[in-house]
Structure 1
Amino acid sequence: MIYQHNGLAVNLYSLKVIRIEKTEEGGYLVFEFDNAIIAVLKDETDELLDGSYRNEPFSQYYEDIGALEADFKIWVDAWNEAVVS
C-alpha cells in the first residue's frame, strides 16, 4: 500500500521503522525499510542467489516539534491501518 502525506509517498508494506530524531531547533521524521532482496547471478556456476541489500533510510526535517509529532502520529496510524487490513 502506497500512502502519501505532506509531500512523501511511502510503501507501507516495506516499512520497518518510523522514528523521531529531535534536534535543538526541530527534528527529523525518519523512515527505515526492510532490506531489498535481489537475485544475483553467480558467474562461476550460473546460479541465481538471493542477496539482501540494505535500503537507506530517508528523513524529513521539521522546524516545529508539534508538527513533527503530529505527522509522526499520522504516519504510524496509516502504517497500522495498512498492516491490520
Structure 2
Amino acid sequence: MAPCVGRRTCIGWVAWAALSGLGAPADIDQLQQRITMLEQNLADIQGQLDERTDELAAARAANRELTRALNQASSRTPC
C-alpha cells in the first residue's frame, strides 16, 4: 500500500516507486497463475451453482405438482 496522505502524495509515491525500482516487485508469472487458479475456481463454483439451481427448479416443480394434486383430491372429497 502506498504511504500517502493526499492525492498528490500518492501520485508522487507511485511515480517514485515505479522509477526507482524500490517499490514492491510484481511477479507477473505468479499473478498469472493466481488468476488462472481463481478463474478455474470460479468456473467450478459456477457449475455447482448451476446444478443446484436446476435441482431447486425441479424440486419446486415437483412441489407445485404435488400441491396441485392434493388440492384436486381434497376438492373432490365431500366434507
Structure number with greater Rg is 2
Which has more strand, going by share of residues? 1
Could you tell me the TM-score, scaled by structure 1's length? 0.27
Could you tell me the TM-score, scaled by structure 2's length? 0.29
Which has more helix, going by share of residues? 2
Identify which of structures 1 and 2 has the higher relative contact order when contacts are C-alpha pairs closer than 8 Å and 6+ apart.
1
